[in-house]
């Protein structure tokens, strides 16, 4: 079971690097090297743009190129100090070493976290950036490719229950990377890196295979489903539908037990590319679910054109739908919309009994969240299922539907 706050873990492993150098060619070269090392990099040549990105994007690393005129470089550092900047700062320059040393001393005197200085040429910058990476526990693309190959990434499962009967209708599989040295690394940190490096195809293949193995071993009733998160970049996996079909056949599991969750944002940005694959998977029996609904800007027409059978209301609305009138109104509207489009509604992020009761009253179909259970490793699922079947105070006429085959 998990209890550590997500945000802390995300910031600790962030690989965001903001580069400023007023010479465009230098900024571009630094950016290229940084990306090659695996940093999530934004470059800029403009101090105002730099300051605005610093505030909104919150980089963990900064490279200041000293072709930014010396004075401007110092002003920038003074500003960063006032903003209580915690980022590690690397100062680079093509010019002689002395101004670099002075800038470094000035930065330290301001209390900034100066990771070092680099006197170009660029290969020295690459080494410095890699050293910072290794020391700072940043995740590199190589690290994650190795982790996927070594099967260090596993799935944990979070139950979903029918709000009428209380019966468990399925589980959402959520990826976890248990890094041998750095401990648990949350998916929000490593999935964007996989996406940026077109590595989702292999990853999703492994996730599907793992989910099918786990559901096979769990041996629950044949109508219990498993939900898998599909990334927008899975469009690259031309054979994804084929892969899902083959794996299901090999493991003797009906494709209809699989739900593919696609975020609303992915759907809208890549709808054309994704939709063929999703439609084919739906044709062979998979259910399609719109994830994080309410956070993107859906065209309702697009939503209706694709064969979705489920709409998942984002947890940001669900969590405070009782205490916040606006969230409550939106949740009810989303339930109505989904039902009018003949879709089932899942509410994620159900953290209290009060919220669960309210959702049931509003006619929501399925609930998922910490109040019901936190995501758990597959070995904990069977005991949890038994416990849930025994304590279910909210079962409707349908009675227990849980079939456990021993
Ligand atoms: P998501 O698909 O929206 O998953 C729900 C997230 O909310 C999960 O975070 C889950 O642990 C968390 N959660 C569940 N119940 C509650 C609750 O009651 N309260 C709160 N505050 N949070 C709750 P997690 O596991 O860190 O996953 C984050 C995101 O990473 C997922 O969001 C999904 O977009 C992505 N992700 C996870 N696994 C995979 C994967 O295998 N493939 C892809 N493409 N994306 C994945
Ligand atoms: Ca999801
Ligand atoms: Ca979601």
In this structure, the number of other CB atoms found within 10 A of the CB of residue 288 comes to 22
Q: Is 160 exposed, middle or buried (0-12, 13-18, 19+ CB in 10 A)?
A: buried
Residues within 5 Å of ion ligand 2 by Cβ?
A: 229, 261, 291
Atom 41 of ligand 1: nearest residue by CA position: 175
* CA 291–ligand 2 middle distance (angstroms): 6
Atom of ligand 1 nearest to the CA of 348: 15
Architecture (CATH level 2) of domain 6-135: 3-Layer(aba) Sandwich (3.40)
Per-residue pLDDT of the chain (406 residues; tens, 9 = 90+): 333 332 233 344 578 899 999 889 889 999 999 988 888 899 999 989 999 999 888 898 999 987 656 557 788 899 999 988 888 899 988 777 787 888 888 898 898 988 888 887 766 888 888 888 777 666 667 778 888 888 889 999 999 999 999 999 999 999 998 877 667 777 877 887 777 767 787 788 889 999 999 998 888 878 899 999 988 776 555 677 888 888 899 989 999 999 999 887 777 766 566 778 888 889 989 999 999 888 876 667 777 778 899 999 999 999 999 999 999 999 999 999 999 999 999 999 999 999 999 999 999 999 999 999 999 999 999 999 999 888 765 544 444 444 444 4
User: Rounded to whole angstroms, how far apart are CA atoms 121 and 50?
Assistant: 24
* Strands 113-119 and 366-368, bridge-based pairing: unpaired
Residues with a CB atom less than 6 Å from ligand 1: 6, 158, 174-175, 186-188, 191, 207, 229, 231, 261, 291-292, 315, 348-351, 369-370, 375
Residue whose C-alpha is closest to residue 315's, from 278, 364, 348, 359? 348
How many contiguous H segments (helices) and E segments (strands) does the chain have?
A: 16, 14
Sequence length of the chain is 406
**Domain coordinates in residue numbering, the chain:** 6-135, 141-398
Name the residue of 274, 316, 348 whose CB sits within 8 Å of the most ligand 1 atoms, as the mutation to test its pocket: 348
Atom of ligand 1 nearest to the CA of 187: 30
User: Rounded to whole angstroms, how far apart are CA atoms 181 and 143?
Assistant: 12
User: Rounded to whole angstroms, how far apart are CA atoms 369 and 348?
Assistant: 6
Give the ligand with the smallest distance to the CA of 158.
1
* CA 133–ligand 2 middle distance (angstroms): 30
* CA 227–ligand 2 middle distance (angstroms): 8
Angle at 205 between CA 201 and CA 208, to 5 degrees: 140
Residue whose C-alpha is closest to residue 294's, from 250, 349, 252? 349
Give the ligand with the smallest distance to the CA of 172.
2
Residues within 5 Å of ion ligand 3 by Cβ?
A: 291-292
Do 6-135 and 141-398 come out as alike in CATH topology?
no
Answer yes or no: are the C-beta atoms of 97 and 119 closer than 8 Å: yes
For the full predicted model, state whether its pTM sits above 0.75: no
* CA 67–ligand 2 middle distance (angstroms): 45
* 141-398 homologous superfamily: EAL domain (3.20.20.450)
């Amino acid at each position: 079971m998990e209890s550590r706050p997500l945000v802390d873990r995300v910031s600790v492993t962030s690989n965001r690097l903001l580069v400023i150098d007023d010479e465009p060619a230098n900024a571009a070269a630094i950016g290229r090297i940084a990306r090659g090392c695996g940093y999530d990099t934004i470059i800029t040549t403009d101090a105002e743009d730099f300051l605005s990105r610093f505030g909104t994007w919150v980089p963990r690393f900064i490279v200041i190129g000293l072709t930014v005129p010396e004075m401007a470089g110092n002003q920038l550092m003074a500003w960063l100090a006032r903003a209580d900047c915690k980022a590690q700062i690397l100062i680079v320059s093509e010019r002689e070493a002395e101004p670099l040393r002075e800038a470094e001393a000035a930065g330290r005197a301001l209390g900034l976290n100066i990771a070092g200085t680099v006197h170009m040429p660029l290969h020295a910058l690459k080494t410095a950036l890699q050293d910072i990476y290794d020391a700072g526990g940043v995740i590199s693309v190589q690290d994650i490719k190795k982790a996927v190959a070594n099967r260090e990434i596993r799935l944990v499962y979070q139950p979903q229950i029918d709000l009428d009967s209380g019966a468990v209708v399925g589980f959402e599989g959520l990826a976890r990377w248990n890094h041998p040295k750095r401990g648990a690394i949350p998916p929000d940190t490593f999935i964007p890196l996989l996406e940026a490096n077109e590595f989702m195809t292999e990853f999703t293949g492994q996730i599907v295979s793992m989910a099918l193995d786990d559901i096979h071993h769990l041996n629950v009733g044949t109508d219990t489903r498993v939900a898998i998160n599909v990334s927008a970049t899975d469009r690259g996996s031309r054979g994804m539908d084929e892969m899902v079909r083959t794996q299901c056949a090999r493991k003797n599991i009906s494709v209809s037990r699989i739900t593919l969750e696609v975020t609303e944002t992915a759907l809208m940005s890549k709808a054309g590319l994704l939709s063929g694959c999703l439609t084919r998977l739906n044709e062979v029996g998979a259910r399609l679910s719109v994830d994080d609904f309410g956070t993107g800007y859906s065209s309702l027409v697009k939503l209706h054109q694709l064969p979705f059978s489920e709409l998942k209301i984002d947890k940001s609305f669900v969590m405070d739908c009782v205490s916040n009138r606006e969230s409550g109104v939106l949740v009810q509207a989303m339930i109505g919309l989904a039902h009018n489009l003949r879709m089932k509604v899942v509410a994620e992020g159900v953290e209290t009994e009060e919220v669960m009761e309210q959702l049931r009253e509003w006619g929501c179909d399925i609930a998922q969240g910490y109040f019901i259970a936190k995501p758990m490793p597959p070995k904990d699922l069977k005991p949890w299922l038994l416990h849930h079947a025994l304590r279910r105070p909210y079962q409707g006429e349908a009675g227990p539907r849980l079939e456990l085959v021993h």
